[in-house]
Structure 1
């Protein structure tokens, strides 16, 4: 769960630090106080798109940092951390996001610098944010298949991975076929270019690692005098009367006199003798190497000219000689394909047909898993509809007709061959229609809340955030939504921004967001309400203006009802 959140110089927030607990945490306050800004900060922490507009006026950067604690040892975050080389200790994850005033975004996970895409990968396994914008995404049928895939994530993900591998291979082969088959004139021009490149590289007559070997030889020739003098000085210091080897030999002879009387001396005498012979052999090798040295200025000129030629080729074909040779091999392969285009097209067509059949079988398996998952999901949704006063509503998941015939593989796409729509009828006797054609704003909020409750236990996210999910509801529906949010909080930590007193009364922790002005600057402050303060805040939410004793009594009654409901909720 999200344990701590720190926000600095973000929008109108100067500095805010919050501690969160398990269960349901409610955030309330006047409109414009900065409640949604806090959710915006969490979205950025989870990898959302940033902007310089988020940096507080006059500040150099906006900083957001969140500490998450993970209790389950099999949580998906551990797989992510292993994949991206992030170390997790004591089940703690720290996500950090910095946005500078010049637009740069810096992301860290447990102090390790990561890309925004990687931060998003971690964020989606930890945080699930439901906002009014996301409710709108439910209206788009293109998103329905992704929602269904969240219901059985492990089974569907495995089948989808196997299908995706084949589909990408199929797409690559189809692209290759089109490139080889299309535009005879373009192919002819391409062949001319390849023949020119092939001839140029053949004339160069490159050898593997030639550039490295030439650079080493050039370094030796260019520094001949320094190398020679260094070796000569070394040899002179070691060999000759009263030089290194001579003194070591005297030491060897001196210690021999007492080796029979002391085990230590015996051991060290052998070591000195061994080192003497090693150093003597080394001296001979240095002498031989000095004798082999030869300075050839013409050879240095040859090397320079050859390296100039190699560097010219590197600019065109690759950063190293070995990579240039790899490119040469690719040229030959592509020329052979173009020259024998018809046979290659035939071979590609056979490969495409074979891979397409395999991909279709995987898509069929993916379809079968989705069908089974959809039946279970529909059953769960129907149970939840009744609890949110949509008992007359019927829900189903529509699948497009399964493709048939020889060309069925042509209908494959990134998600298989499935086309899925969520269908609903909210009134008896009315046929089911696409969700976006039927549901009102209040109904959409309830349906999305139902899906979130169902998915919370399937996705394994540690924190679910609701940003004004109660829009468009009131009365008994508001109470039902409050009860549903509590049920979600039994499986995951829930943070909820609300304007409904029914929802706020359910809070295990109630935080109040307010806006203050100091020194002509506006700042957002966050405080945790005591029991008495919670009664006053609920009273304000009920009346909207003046606090009355009746409103306070109503607030206390709401809290008692909430406490009773939570005590009986498993």
Structure 2
């Protein structure tokens, strides 16, 4: 659950810290008080689209931070581990800062993450349902994903298997398409890559050759300094009356001393070892000096070779390894173009095999979807009955399915399969089923989406569900049914609900009043938890709109008593 939310310099909120409880929390208040701004902040905290417009006027950045409590085995645990995020004692802290330039900085448990990672983790913690999402029901492209979400336990695995094979189908199909391009394009391509391949082959590149040449060049360029340094070092060691002579003298005297004092033998041995080591090193230095030879022609050869290698790098890769890899790649392409007919034949056979396997995967996926579509239909009918839509008929209609393409020559495979799904509905007895977008009113859409959310909340394991004014367009007994439905969802998941319905407000376990006030000519949002008497007053305001009469107060009190009885 979302335990605590901190918002600073966000829209008309200067600084606000909210603590939330389990169960149903409702947020009420006058229009424009800032209820939806709080939901906007939560949406941004879980990876929503940010903008500099959210930053409070005159401030440099907006800060949003939320503390979530999760149980072991929660879906966010595995996701967090994938991204190297540690979760201790079941606490997940999301933080997002938005600067006045629009740039976002995101953190999860103190670790910097991208917005996509924040969104991926956040999606397992919060499910925000708004009027906009209700409108998405009118777009049939969302219906298939909703069905897949409902049957996720079986459909997800089948869909992943299908997608894996579909990628192979795309790859083979793409190669075949390229092989069947017109002769002129292929001839031009062949000329180009043959020239490139010949250029790479003629260069006779060796791995790390450029590094070796660069090192050799460095020595030649610094030849004089190298010679002088080695010569001076040699003279310091082996020159007359220099290092080795003095060390030899020291060794001679220590031999005499060791004859007198045996305890000096160890010192003598160390000096002798140093002498012989330095003598060997001086011979090595002499050998290097004798072998040094400045060859200006060799320097020219190296520079020319390095220039040739750099020219190839500009064309074919940033390193010799990449150049050679590119050479191998185009060598295969040359072979495939030269022997095009043979390769086309092989690719056509491979494509037929992949298409056959892909169709079988699509058929299995389609059969599973039909099975879960029947379950979803029954479940939706059950939920709609509780929302006073018991005469409504709902159907998940397959406009196209895998069976429709049995033995078809040209099968229109898509990334999500062969199925095309649309929700159909009839809200009045005797009326035929029609597409949802052409039939349902705003209030009916709200109830259908609420029915879907009720069903999905049992499957998803989401920590918190947020309803942002989903009760638009309903009243009376329907409003009471919606209130009871939202409360039932809160039994399994924490629910935060912005509402204008007194019936929903009465069902709340926690009631927060959102207010707007002006201080020092600046507007800001305040939040006040309500006690019992304050709840009665606020629900009375929601009922009457303006004047609070004794009758309104009594009605509000009865609503609260009814809610307690239902709970």
Q: Do they superpose with TM above 0.5?
A: yes
Aligned to 2:284: 288
- Asked whether the 8 Å contact 1:12–1:522 carries over to 2, the reply is yes
Q: Point out the more displaced range, 201-210 or 348-357.
A: 201-210
Q: Point out the more displaced range, 394-403 or 476-485.
A: 394-403
Aligned to 1:240: 244
Q: How far is the alpha carbon of 1:287 from its aligned partner? A: 5.5
CA distance in 1, matches of 2:279, 2:153: 68
Q: How far is the alpha carbon of 1:454 from its aligned partner? A: 0.7
CA distance in 1, matches of 2:275, 2:390: 95
Q: 1:405-444 residue pairs with structure 2 within 5 A?
A: 405-407=406-408, 410-444=411-445
Aligned to 1:12: 12
Q: Point out the more displaced range, 85-94 or 476-485.
A: 85-94
Aligned to 1:209: 208
- Asked whether the 8 Å contact 2:25–2:512 carries over to 1, the reply is yes
Q: 1:441-480 residue pairs with structure 2 within 5 A?
A: 441-480=442-481
Q: Point out the more displaced range, 173-182 or 492-501.
A: 173-182
CA distance in 1, matches of 2:470, 2:161: 37
CA distance in 1, matches of 2:13, 2:249: 76
Aligned to 2:166: 167
- Asked whether the 8 Å contact 2:380–2:394 carries over to 1, the reply is yes
The 1:78–1:257 alpha-carbon spacing in structure 2 relative to 1, beyond 3 Å, is farther
Q: Deviation digits for residues 37-86 of structure 1, max 9, x if unmatched?
A: 11112222222222222222222222222222211x22221221122222
Q: How far is the alpha carbon of 1:212 from its aligned partner? A: 2.5
Q: Point out the more displaced range, 354-363 or 6-15.
A: 6-15
Aligned to 2:115: 116
Aligned to 2:566: 565
- Asked whether the 8 Å contact 2:544–2:552 carries over to 1, the reply is yes
CA distance in 2, matches of 1:160, 1:49: 28
- Is 2:386 aligned against 1:387? yes
CA distance in 1, matches of 2:279, 2:15: 71
Where 1:68 maps in the other structure, the secondary structure is strand
Q: How far is the alpha carbon of 1:409 from its aligned partner? A: 6.5
Q: 1:28-67 residue pairs with structure 2 within 5 A?
A: 28-67=28-67
CA distance in 1, matches of 2:447, 2:278: 86
CA distance in 2, matches of 1:477, 1:234: 99
CA distance in 1, matches of 2:110, 2:85: 9
The 1:476–1:541 alpha-carbon spacing in structure 2 relative to 1, beyond 3 Å, is same
Where 1:150 maps in the other structure, the secondary structure is helix
Q: Point out the more displaced range, 329-338 or 103-112.
A: 103-112
Q: How far is the alpha carbon of 1:11 from its aligned partner? A: 1.9
The 1:205–1:29 alpha-carbon spacing in structure 2 relative to 1, beyond 3 Å, is same
- Is 2:319 aligned against 1:320? yes
Count of matched residue pairs: 553
Where 2:353 maps in the other structure, the secondary structure is helix
Q: Deviation digits for residues 183-211 of structure 1, max 9, x if unmatched?
A: 32222221222122122222322111222
The 1:343–1:561 alpha-carbon spacing in structure 2 relative to 1, beyond 3 Å, is same
Q: 1:301-316 residue pairs with structure 2 within 5 A?
A: 301-316=300-315
Q: How far is the alpha carbon of 1:222 from its aligned partner? A: 4.4
The 1:328–1:528 alpha-carbon spacing in structure 2 relative to 1, beyond 3 Å, is same
Q: How far is the alpha carbon of 1:549 from its aligned partner? A: 2.2
CA distance in 2, matches of 1:279, 1:56: 78
Aligned to 1:537: 538
The 1:105–1:473 alpha-carbon spacing in structure 2 relative to 1, beyond 3 Å, is same
- Asked whether the 8 Å contact 1:30–1:514 carries over to 2, the reply is yes
- Asked whether the 8 Å contact 2:2–2:68 carries over to 1, the reply is yes
- Is 2:136 aligned against 1:137? yes
Q: Deviation digits for residues 339-389 of structure 1, max 9, x if unmatched?
A: 222222111111111111111111122122222222222222121111110
Normalized against structure 2, the TM-score is what? 0.89
Calculate the aligned-residue CA RMSD, in Å: 3.1
Where 2:492 maps in the other structure, the secondary structure is coil
Q: Point out the more displaced range, 97-106 or 293-302.
A: 293-302
Where 2:162 maps in the other structure, the secondary structure is helix
Q: How far is the alpha carbon of 1:89 from its aligned partner? A: 2.0
The 1:126–1:202 alpha-carbon spacing in structure 2 relative to 1, beyond 3 Å, is same
Q: Deviation digits for residues 388-441 of structure 1, max 9, x if unmatched?
A: 101111222112342234336622211111111122221222222221122111
Q: Point out the more displaced range, 346-355 or 520-529.
A: 520-529
Q: Deviation digits for residues 155-180 of structure 1, max 9, x if unmatched?
A: 22221111101111111221222222
Where 1:466 maps in the other structure, the secondary structure is strand
- Greater Rg, structure 1 or structure 2? 2
Q: How far is the alpha carbon of 1:290 from its aligned partner? A: 6.5
- Is 2:183 aligned against 1:187? no
Q: How far is the alpha carbon of 1:283 from its aligned partner? A: 7.9
- Asked whether the 8 Å contact 2:336–2:343 carries over to 1, the reply is yes
CA distance in 1, matches of 2:415, 2:247: 79
Aligned to 1:497: 498
- Asked whether the 8 Å contact 1:221–1:295 carries over to 2, the reply is no
Q: Any stretches of 5+ residues in structure 2 without a counterpart?
A: none
- Asked whether the 8 Å contact 1:397–1:422 carries over to 2, the reply is yes
Q: How far is the alpha carbon of 1:257 from its aligned partner? A: 5.4
Aligned to 2:69: 69
Q: Point out the more displaced range, 184-193 or 126-135.
A: 184-193
CA distance in 1, matches of 2:537, 2:96: 36
- Is 2:149 aligned against 1:150? yes
CA distance in 1, matches of 2:283, 2:477: 100
Where 1:516 maps in the other structure, the secondary structure is strand
Aligned to 1:263: none
Q: How far is the alpha carbon of 1:6 from its aligned partner? A: 1.8
